[in-house]
Structure 1
Amino acid sequence: MLVKDIMQSEVATISPFATIREAMRKMRDCNVKSLVVDKRDPHDAYGILTYTTILRTIVSEDGDIDLINVYDVCAKPVISVYAEMDVKHVARLMITQDVRRIIVLRDNELEGIITMNDIITPVLKLAE
């Protein structure tokens, strides 16, 4: 099974200059637990912002979420793979790097995202 067979091509993204409050609102509106942070320029890297990152930021900054930009707290560069990669390699990468989400790139541009849940669902179906 290849990444392109199970990845999500609809990816919620956000500007690196958005505030944490804007990111939280977008996560709620899109019903997602993470956002891919856009590149600032063509030679930049994508980032990722998760609920965990937001909670950690709120606690450490005493909740001042309107003054902190997404770019300042996101994980960057985010781990990425290509769509033609075998899913077993991606699963191993997630385990060794202790991540739940990996973005999919083509020519350094965002093509999709793959999560642990995307991998587990087809595996469970095969086991049934």
Structure 2
Amino acid sequence: MSTNTQRKTPTFVKDVMWPQVDIVDGKTTVEQALADMKYKKTKVLLVEKSHDHDEYGVVLIADIASKVIAKDRALDRVNIYEIMNKPAMSVHPDMDIRYCAELLTHFNLSRCPVLDNGKVVGVISLTSIVFNGLRIA
């Protein structure tokens, strides 16, 4: 009986992440942010750091639905910084997607930014991990 001792080469976050990142200023209104999201066909916006020692924020479609629309707040009177989640959990581009998937599901996240040396280089989602990260032999 032979055993297969060959290890699979891991797939990394950088292999399946989305490299285009939409970063907005925290003072952007939800109305402006939604227009941007619709135009770019994205479900996530990163919120720029306000100073060097700050952290990135993140706003998802679900945040807009629950914190603005469900509460009947005016889209043009709410700023993104009021509804963002901060600090945004992030992962490194060289993280194995198995660990990334575990991290995202543990914290009930659908996506998060990918940071390399403090700079945003992409966004990773469970969808991209599942559809693009599987290597079928």
Q: What is the TM-score normalised by the length of structure 2?
A: 0.86
Instruction: Say how many residue pairs are matched.
Output: 126
**Does residue 69 of structure 2 align to residue 58 of structure 1?**
yes
* Residue of structure 2 in register with 1:85 after alignment: 95
Question: Which of 62, 68, 71 in structure 1 is aligned with 2:78?
Answer: 68
CA 17–101 in structure 1, closer or farther in 2 if over 3 Å, else same: same
Unaligned runs of 5+ in 1: none
Cα deviation for residue 124 of structure 1 reads 5.3
Is the CA contact 2:16–2:133 (under 8 Å) kept in the aligned structure 1?
A: no
Give the number of the structure whose residues are more often helix, by fraction: 1
Cα deviation for residue 3 of structure 1 reads 0.8
CA 96–22 in structure 1, closer or farther in 2 if over 3 Å, else same: same
* Residue of structure 2 in register with 1:42 after alignment: 52
* Residue of structure 2 in register with 1:5 after alignment: 15
- Which residue identity is paired with 2:13? V
- Cα distance in structure 1, aligned partners of 2:135 and 2:93: 21
- Cα distance in structure 1, aligned partners of 2:110 and 2:99: 14
Unaligned runs of 5+ in 2: 1-10
Cα deviation for residue 55 of structure 1 reads 1.1
**Does residue 30 of structure 2 align to residue 20 of structure 1?**
yes
Percent of residue pairs bearing the same amino acid type: 30
RMSD: 1.4
**Does residue 83 of structure 2 align to residue 99 of structure 1?**
no
Question: Which of 118, 130, 134 in structure 2 is aligned with 1:108?
Answer: 118
* Residue of structure 1 in register with 2:8 after alignment: none
Q: What is the TM-score normalised by the length of structure 1?
A: 0.92
SS of corresponding position for 1:111: strand
